[in-house]
Chains A and B, each alone.
Chain A
Amino acid sequence: MDLKKFEKPEYFVNRELSWLKFDERVLGEAKDKTLPLFERLKFLSITSSNLDEFYMVRVASLKDQVHAGYSKTDIAGMTSKEQLASISKATHELVQQQYSTLNRSLLPALEKAGMHVILEHEQLSAKQAEFVDRYFEDNVYPVLTPMAMDSSRPFPLIRNKTLNIGALISRKDKKKGKESLVFATVQVPSVLPRVVIIPSEKEGDTTVILLEEIIERNIQKLFLSNNVVCAHPYRIMRNADLTIDEDEAEDLLVEIKKQLKKRQWGEVIRLEVNEKMDERLLNVLKEEFAISEEDIFFINGPLDLTMLMKVYSQDGFEQYKTKKYTPAPVIAFQNDKSIFEVISEGDVFLHHPYMSFDPVVNFIRQSARDPEVLAIKQTLYRVSGHSPIIAALAQAAENGKQVTVLVELKARFDEENNIAWAQMLEKAGCHVIYGLVGLKTHSKITLVVRREESGIRRYVHLATGNYNDSTARLYTDCGIFTCDERIGEDATAVFNMLSGYSEPKYWNKLIVAPIWMKDRFLKLIQREADNAQKGIPSEIRAKMNSLCDPVIMSALYYASSCGVKISLLVRGICCLKVGIPGLSENIHVRSIVGDFLEHSRIFYFSNGGKPEVYMGSADWMPRNLDRRVEIVFPVEDEQIQEEVIHILDLEFQDNVKAHVLQPDGTYVKPDKRGKTLINSQMEFCREAAEKAAATEKAKQNSRVFVPVESAE
């Protein structure tokens, strides 16, 4: 497979620009008038938090590259500078669209729905104004710390991502008898709710105002002896990430490490200001933050739209929200058998959030209590606040089980959280490993060793998503329980490897990154290409979050050019182009953006009629394939394989939430005219609920008296 000729820059899309396309698709959901109003607010809020993260990680990293003088181009042939310029243009457009959606569509609709969002304190009624002022004095004033800048006081430190109000105050210079303007700033306290409910003028309505407006209205009280000339909110984002983003190329990492000393710590990389901000005030900020024009965003509305999530979670307005879906119970476990009995009878498949995550938690809980269980080993990447899994692991250790937990401290933005509960686990007597140097452990695997009549038996849970019971309600993920001895042996080897011991001589079933996975995928792709050339029907279907590994993409181009039919479900970044003559005409790419975050990774290879299906934790990205410990596992049980193939089938039929990638790089929703509407996520909900209901009914119909068992 000679891939050289497929590795031309014109065949690829820059990953950052592709990512921005994804955020646009999310914004598309906010614009979609067929969705319940409050759901649209939520999507708009998500675009905003997405964009924040993008700046903090990706833009920051590109800035680093420019400072380091790194001149290499990306796969699409763009230098870091060129990328930044394109990003700036695209994000400005995106922000523009965010606010026009908010102002033109969402706010008027909210108004109609009886939710008044007061954007400017000038709009308050006398009664409301009185309430607001009172609220300011009682709650806000005590926690404010206004700071002024003058000859004796330098420009204060403005914290990353915080919302602030900048003001110009005039001071009389007594000696010269002249008035001079002084810059002052006050942080909008993050300890107080940003969205404040105030009395409504009409009974039954809800009225809210943003905290910064309350402060702005009362700003004079902060500078009593001076006259406040103007006051406007602003927000900055700094390049303050301590770690270098793992997505970067190896040689770049080396380069940046060398340049680390030169790195401009805390450099401001984005400034958001209200578009009505006074020119003089803006100039002070520009100068003090040393920020260039293209990194300033003039906002027509409230800054930082993540606050919309708070509006979303206001009580009431249920008719404007999608009814919360309750995950269906997993049929295999709807009986009195122990979880181990069930698994030993056959592999069990889980599809979250359509099916409940409880069995996964129960797996750990039962293992913690079961007298025959000797050991529990698990990888933890991101866990929820009060994770029942952590509690069960601690319990297991206290019950004398050997508990080994791999805690990935490098999980982005979660470091502090992770350290806290890792220490808690250690105290409970768990053996905690903190991952491998230079490799993020992203695999999701749990191993339980149990001593049984017939000997030692290993139970394994493998998944595409994290062991996080809260995100399991929002992310679509797949998992499998098995006691296949070959997988059990591999699982033991995985944990040996994670504890710093040598890798095994061979793997029975699992495909493990960073060493073996990429080659294996290339071989699987190659096999389809070979089949196509021999005239054997061939097909590749794959579902993932992001696709940007150049080697894999070239291999896909090669396979497509050999005649392999390739259908991809890529939720986020996709650097591959479709419809290039002779290269990617056989490749179809679509992205599903729906109520749940598409998160599972599924890989299907038709293999000349004997399909091979894999699932796992890895995307086709260099970071997953080369710099992380990832696991992809085969789905061999026939029935489960069918279920997994069904997931792909349905998602490729989706014509409600799917966006199809076009040869020009845009994403378009398929034409629905005359077609039955298929919203795959809703279908899965319906299917799971129906199955569970059928089992429940069958259970009720059987006439067996069930004795009450003692409460747990």
Chain B
Amino acid sequence: MAGATFAAIDIGSYEVSMKIFELSKKIGLKALNDVRYRLELGNGAYARGRLDTEMVDYLCGILMDFRRMMKEFGVEKYRACATSALRELKNPAVVQDQIFRRTGFQVEILSNAEQHFLGYKSIAAIETGFKKMIQKGTAILDVGGGNLQVSLFDKDALVSTQNLKMGSLRIRERLKQLEKATTHYDQLVEEFIRNDLTSFQRLYLKDREVRNVILMGDFLTDTIFSEDVNDNIITKTEFLKRYENVAEKSVQQLSEEMEIDPEYASLVVPTMVICKNFIDIFNAESLWAPGVSLLDGIAYDYAEKEKYITSAHNFENDILVASRNIAKRFSTGKNHIQGTTAIALAIFDSMKKIHGMGSRERLLLQLAVQLHDCGKYISMADVSECSYRIIMETEIIGLSTEERSIIANVVRYNNEEFEYRSSFMDPAGMSSSMYLKIAKLAAILRVSNAMDRSHYQKVEGIKAVLKDDELSLILDSTRDLSLELGLLKDKVDFFEEIFGIKLILRRKKKTE
């Protein structure tokens, strides 16, 4: 069978790019076309929160060209993603709609966490060395035009990830006026970002050891680091030498030497300064630029979903570990979480037919369980509201804004009274499928959480059996469950209301 083709499109802050892939089980992913067009959407977006009509015209023109190029390879499936340039607009929906009307492209605005998760997926996917590398302390530095993302890995899993508004284009724009006042532009940039860096170091890096830095990004970072280097790994000394070589040069010189557009060249120094400072605070030994981009990640993600490839790395686990670390930061009890998770998953798995949700929602449920108590760190009296706010403000890698909002709402309605659709506080941005997911997951969370009300993990085993319209939870416990069962009444009512089935709780009989 002929393989399928797929186009990944990235509307970035300073370039619009597309990569067309051929997908097949035999060869996996193969790039057929790779195009980029320099378009500084970020300029208007960061400064004014709006895009000029002219810019939108340009963008649509490029997308029409992309459409033609897709046809040249018979591409039908695509995913078009926009990042911070559209994310930071005041009117993203308007722009999205204009693009759709004029080009037929449904452009999806990635949340920062989604964007970087996809990016990181691309490295994990293509590089076998990645798995080995992240056994030791490793940081992924993703320098974009608008933002940069630092993710820390240790012992095969993602430990923490932070987003800083220090992208190369943003820095260049902010410093434009000051540029003339100095002959040491690199120092100016360095001072500008120093404060944020120190905070990052104090709060998140602490005394973690980072040996390797993986540099991700786009065409630009690739160009800076690709020349004359074997396997794209350079040592710290080599990097510093290169830095010295670049820091004092004019845009014109850089453009000529690197054979790149002057507009790209103007972003070289900011990018280099950012990298240098991170290498400094990490005290890393080497820097690796694997030369992959968001586009590879988008395609990889699609290929994985369509089962053209199977990944060696467990990406869901990264999300779980990342959220566990968030829970830890807010001193959530580990045992209670484990107990509740077991119960919640038993319920979820036993009634798939009833709730009709899939593996992604199962993951969301686990995350909701992990984070449902984090608000206690702020206020014992107002746990749900505080938990809700913490989740909404915390980046969870790999989740879209919508998914994060689902988790936050599930956690909120764990304790708070559920607000039915008609009286929903924020109907905007809440689709009915999202609303239903929240309700269903909240119902499961409520019951599961209540079973460990005392946080003593009295329930030692649980078995869920669905028969006709009756779900029986058979609890295995040698201890007194009167507190749990006594307080369960209203939770059960809500559960039955949402799923339309009867929930029966009983102790496991001796003979069972």
Contact = CB atoms under 8 A, between A and B. Distances in A.
A504 interface: yes
B401 interface: no
Interface in A450-480: 451-456
A397 to B, nearest CB: 12
A449 B33 CA distance: 12
Contacts of B259: 515
**From B69, B219, B259, residue with most partner A Cβ within 10 Å:** B69
B6 to A, nearest CB: 12
Contact of A496 (B3, B5, B35, B219): B35
Contacts of B426: none
B261 interface: yes
Contact of B24 (A377, A452, A455): A455
Nearest to B69: A496
Interface string A470-505: 000000000000000000010011001001111011
B328 interface: no
A240 interface: no
A374 B219 contact: no
B2 A452 contact: yes
Contacts of B35: 496, 501-502
A402 interface: yes
A454 B22 CA distance: 11
A431 interface: yes
A556 interface: no
Nearest to A505: B222
B96 interface: no
Contact of A456 (B5, B37, B71): B5
Nearest to B32: A456
Contacts of A496: 33-35, 69
Interface residues of A, number: 24
B288 interface: no
B37 A502 contact: yes
Contact of A449 (B2, B27, B72, B291): B72
A492 B33 CA distance: 7
B304 interface: no
A158 to B, nearest CB: 47
B35 to A, nearest CB: 4
B32 A492 contact: yes
A588 to B, nearest CB: 35
A496 B72 CA distance: 12
Given A456-B32, A502-B219, A374 B73 contact: yes
Interface in B248-301: 259, 261, 291
Interface in A425-456: 431, 449, 451-456
Contacts of B68: 402, 404, 431
Contacts of B27: 455
Given A496-B33, A500-B37, A449 B219 contact: no
B72 A402 contact: yes
B65 interface: yes
Contacts of B73: 374-375, 449, 456
Contacts of B5: 456
B443 to A, nearest CB: 47
Nearest to A449: B72
A500 B58 CA distance: 12
Given A502-B36, A502-B219, A504-B34, A455 B3 contact: yes
A458 to B, nearest CB: 8
A493 B5 CA distance: 18
Contacts of A492: 32-33
A344 to B, nearest CB: 15
A505 B223 contact: yes
Contacts of B222: 505
A456 B22 contact: yes
Nearest to B31: A489
Contact of A493 (B2, B34, B72, B223): B34
Interface in B132-184: none
A489 B219 CA distance: 18
Nearest to A488: B32
Contacts of A375: 71-73
A493 B36 CA distance: 10
Nearest to B264: A502
Contacts of A449: 72-73
Interface in B1-33: 2-3, 5, 15, 22, 24, 27, 30, 32-33
Nearest to A403: B72
B2 A455 contact: yes
A496 B189 CA distance: 35
A499 B37 CA distance: 10
Contacts of A493: 33-34
B226 interface: yes
B500 interface: no
Contacts of B37: 500-502
B13 to A, nearest CB: 16
Interface in A221-237: none
B223 A451 contact: no
Nearest to A455: B3
B126 to A, nearest CB: 15
A174 to B, nearest CB: 72
A451 B74 contact: yes
A551 to B, nearest CB: 16
A504 B33 CA distance: 10
Nearest to A458: B32
Nearest to A515: B259
B38 interface: yes
A499 B223 CA distance: 22
A505 B2 contact: no
A502 B2 contact: no
A501 B62 CA distance: 9
Contact of B261 (A456, A499, A502): A502
B489 to A, nearest CB: 61
Contacts of B15: 502
Contact of B219 (A451, A500, A505): A505
A374 B74 CA distance: 7
A342 B22 CA distance: 24
Contacts of B261: 502
Contacts of A431: 68
A577 to B, nearest CB: 32
Interface in B468-503: none
Contacts of B2: 451-455
Contacts of A501: 35-37, 65
A401 to B, nearest CB: 9
**From A377, A454, A501, residue with most partner B Cβ within 10 Å:** A501
A456 B72 CA distance: 10
Interface in B197-252: 219, 222-223, 226
A41 B243 CA distance: 68
Interface string A509-532: 000000100000000000000000
Interface string B55-84: 000000000010011011110000000000
Given A402-B68, A492-B32, A455 B38 contact: no
Interface string A367-378: 000000011010
Nearest to A447: B72
Interface of A: 374-375, 377, 402, 404, 431, 449, 451-456, 489, 492-493, 496, 499-502, 504-505, 515
24 contacts: A374-B72, A375-B72, A375-B73, A404-B72, A431-B68, A449-B72, A449-B73, A451-B74, A453-B2, A455-B2, A455-B3, A455-B24, A456-B5, A456-B32, A456-B73, A493-B33, A496-B34, A496-B69, A502-B219, A505-B34, A505-B219, A505-B223, A505-B226, A505-B291
Given A454-B2, A502-B38, A505-B219, 4 more contacts: A374-B74, A449-B72, A493-B34, A505-B34
What 7 A-B pairs come out closest when comparing CB atoms? Answer: A375-B72, A502-B36, A501-B35, A402-B72, A496-B35, A455-B3, A402-B71
Interface of B: 2-3, 5, 15, 22, 24, 27, 30, 32-38, 65, 68-69, 71-74, 219, 222-223, 226, 259, 261, 291
